[in-house]
């Protein structure tokens, strides 16, 4: 029987993973080592009971008593906090979903790779923050990473049995997010509610706002570079409002292989769950005649400064990815809590990167996990100070 662990089980990726596990046989087919969540302990307990998990872990100590109460009589262990999350990763699950949002996913994913697990990686922040270390840890321990971001799953599938030497370019597509057709002069006043709606995908709030600002695509540019080991100048972004072509790979013979599918994360998750097989998945089938046409356009650099910043980060290397992601997380929190405007987010991130470059704080060469975590903390500290200066109140 296969064994699984799901980090971030109560989130958007986690719920889709749970849905597939249940459809594919639930507790009769999978031994669930651990499920983790954050504040939604009632849902976490429901999922843990349904899959008869060995342990349920909340990220927050103050949620532990509620989790214990919700699990009473089930025989399922309960735990809380960052160390408990890391220990959950040590439990011997064959397949581990990394579905926590933000850099908090880094340590659990790292620990799962250290014991040679297959890591289904939805959490792009792990590769942005610690790409070389994550990839090296997987190689050193015979672990496998299967990308779950829809673009990266698409690239992975387009590259099956292809020679990387023959790859000329990779194109990742972007819907353009909530504001793709807004006039630029309205963006400064965009509200959190407006930024939290996505034209095509149903996702967690943070990634939805990151889609509107294109920070999500910026993270994905770096993720593509780190995961596929491809030079930054060979990676392109195209705005594709229909979100049906997820990525394209161009080869040196001039041909391209693209991957199409309905905008439903259960495709990429189900692909990673069943790899190397393809299982029947409960996603809509495309009716291309009904779709009629697919459109593409180049992203406007003035509208999406995050893409330029991502390219600078790839050029800088060292701790630039960790600083970029950490500053982005702080800026996003500040936008969500109404302390800065939508357009201020990119300004905060750029200022943090400039300061840290100026201080020589981004380093070069191989980085340990501790160095990366320290870089992340330092970037958050600088970002909070920058937000303070930028803030509306």
Q: How many whole angstroms separate alpha carbon 318 and alpha carbon 127?
A: 13
171 part of the interface to ligand NDP, by CB under 6 A: no
Phi, psi of 118 (to 5 degrees): -90, 120
- Other beta carbons less than 10 A from residue 50's beta carbon: 15
Q: Please report whether residue 91 would count as binding ligand NDP according to CB under 6 A.
A: no
The Cα 382–Cα 305 span in angstroms is 20
CB of 59 to ligand NDP, least distance (A): 3
Quick one: 83 or 162, whose CB is closer to ligand NDP? 83
59 makes contact with ligand NDP (CB under 6 A): yes
Q: Could you tell me where the DSSP H helices lie in the chain?
A: 12-23, 41-51, 64-71, 82-90, 106-114, 124-140, 150-158, 184-187, 192-195, 205-213, 215-228, 266-274, 288-291, 305-316, 320-336, 344-358, 369-390
Nearer to ligand NDP, 120 or 314 (CB): 120
Nearest to 36 by CA among 83, 75, 94: 83
Which residues from 143-162 bind ligand NDP, rule CB under 6 A? 149
The alpha carbon dihedral of 285, 241, 221, 350 has a sign of: negative
The least distance separating ligand NDP from the CB of residue 188, rounded to whole angstroms, comes to 25
Q: Which of residues 214-273 bind ligand NDP (CB under 6 A)?
A: 265
**Residue 119: CB minimum distance to ligand NDP, A:** 13
10 binds ligand NDP (CB under 6 A): yes
Q: Is residue 122 part of the contact set for ligand NDP (CB under 6 A)?
A: yes
Q: Given candidates 2, 27, 31, 39, which one binds ligand NDP under the rule CB under 6 A? A: 39
In the complex, the smallest distance separating the C-beta of residue 107 from ligand NDP, rounded to whole angstroms, is 10
CA atoms 249, 250, 253, 259: torsion sign:
positive
Contacts of 139 (CB under 8 A, 6+ apart): none
Q: Residue 164 has what DSSP assignment?
A: G
329 lies in the binding site for ligand NDP (CB under 6 A): no
Instruction: Give the residue nearest to ligand NDP (CB).
Output: 11
Return the exposure string of 7-46: e unless at least 16 CB atoms fall within 10 Å of the residue's CB, then b: bbbbbbbbbbbbebbeebeeeeebbbbbbbbbebbebbbb
Positions in 266-325 near ligand NDP (CB under 6 A): none
Sign for the CA dihedral angle at 110, 112, 116, 120 comes to: negative
Among the candidate windows 12-20, 174-182, 288-296, 317-325, which touches ligand NDP by CB under 6 A? Answer: 12-20
Task: Please identify, among the stretches 73-81, 119-127, 269-277, 368-376, the one whose residues bind ligand NDP according to the rule CB under 6 A.
Answer: 119-127
CB of 183 vs ligand NDP, minimal distance in Å: 28
Closer by beta carbon to ligand NDP, 250 or else 272: 272
Measured distance CA(119)–CA(93) in Å, rounded:
10
Nearest Cα residue to 336 out of 158, 155, 157, 213: 213
Q: Which of 26, 38, 132, 363 binds ligand NDP (CB under 6 A)?
A: 38
Indicate which single residue of 4, 5, 11, 228 sits in contact with ligand NDP (rule: CB under 6 A): 11
Tokens of 281: 């998945």
Nearest approach in angstroms of CB 254 to ligand NDP is: 30
Among 70, 100, 330, 345, binds ligand NDP (CB under 6 A): 100
Our finding on whether 8 is near ligand NDP (CB under 6 A) is yes
127 lies in the site for ligand NDP, by CB under 6 A: no
Among 33, 51, 76, 99, binds ligand NDP (CB under 6 A): 99
In the chain, DSSP finds a helix count (H) and a strand count (E) of: 17, 11
The stretch among 18-26, 69-77, 123-131, 365-373 that binds ligand NDP (CB under 6 A) is 123-131
> Does 206 participate in binding ligand NDP (rule CB under 6 A)?
yes
Q: Which of residues 175-204 bind ligand NDP (CB under 6 A)?
A: 201, 203-204
Q: Which residue ranges make up the site for ligand NDP (CB under 6 A)?
A: 8-14, 37-40, 59, 99-101, 104, 122-125, 149, 201, 203-204, 206-207, 265
């Amino acid at each position: 029987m296969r064994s699984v662990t799901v980090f971030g089980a109560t989130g958007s990726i986690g719920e889709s993973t749970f849905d597939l596990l249940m459809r594919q046989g639930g507790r009769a087919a999978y031994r669930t080592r651990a499920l983790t969540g954050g504040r939604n302990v009632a849902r976490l307990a429901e999922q843990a009971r349904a899959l008869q998990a060995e342990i349920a872990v909340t990220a927050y100590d103050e949620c532990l008593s509620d989790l214990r109460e919700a699990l009473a009589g089930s025989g399922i262990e309960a735990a809380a906090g960052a160390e408990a999350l890391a220990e959950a990763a040590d439990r011997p699950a064959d397949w581990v979903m990394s579905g926590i949002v933000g850099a908090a996913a880094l340590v659990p994913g790292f620990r799962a790779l250290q014991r040679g697990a297959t890591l289904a990686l939805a959490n792009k922040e792990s590769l942005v923050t610690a790409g070389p270390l994550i990839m090296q840890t997987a190689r050193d321990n015979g672990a496998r990473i299967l990308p779950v971001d829809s673009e990266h799953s698409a690239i992975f599938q387009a590259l099956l049995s292809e020679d990387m030497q023959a790859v000329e370019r990779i194109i990742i597509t972007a819907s353009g997010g909530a504001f793709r057709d807004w006039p630029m002069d309205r963006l400064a006043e965009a509200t959190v509610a407006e930024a939290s709606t996505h034209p095509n995908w149903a996702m967690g709030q943070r990634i939805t706002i990151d889609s509107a600002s294109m920070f999500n695509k910026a993270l994905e540019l770096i993720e593509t570079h780190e995961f596929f080991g491809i030079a930054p100048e060979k990676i392109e972004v195209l705005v594709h409002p229909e979100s049906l072509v997820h990525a394209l790979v161009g080869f040196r013979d001039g041909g391209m292989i693209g991957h199409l599918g309905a905008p439903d994360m259960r495709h990429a998750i189900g692909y990673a769950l069943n790899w190397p097989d393809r299982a029947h998945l409960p996603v809509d089938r495309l009716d291309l005649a009904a779709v009629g046409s697919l459109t593409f356009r180049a992203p406007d650099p003035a509208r999406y400064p995050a893409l330029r910043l991502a390219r600078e980060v790839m050029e800088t290397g060292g701790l630039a990815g960790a600083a970029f992601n950490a500053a982005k997380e702080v800026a996003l929190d500040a936008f969500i809590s109404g302390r800065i405007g939508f357009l201020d987010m990119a300004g905060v991130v750029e200022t943090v990167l400039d300061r840290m470059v100026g201080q020589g704080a981004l380093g070069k060469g191989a980085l340990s996990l501790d160095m990366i975590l320290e870089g992340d903390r330092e970037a958050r500290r600088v970002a909070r100070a920058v937000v303070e200066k930028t803030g509306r109140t």
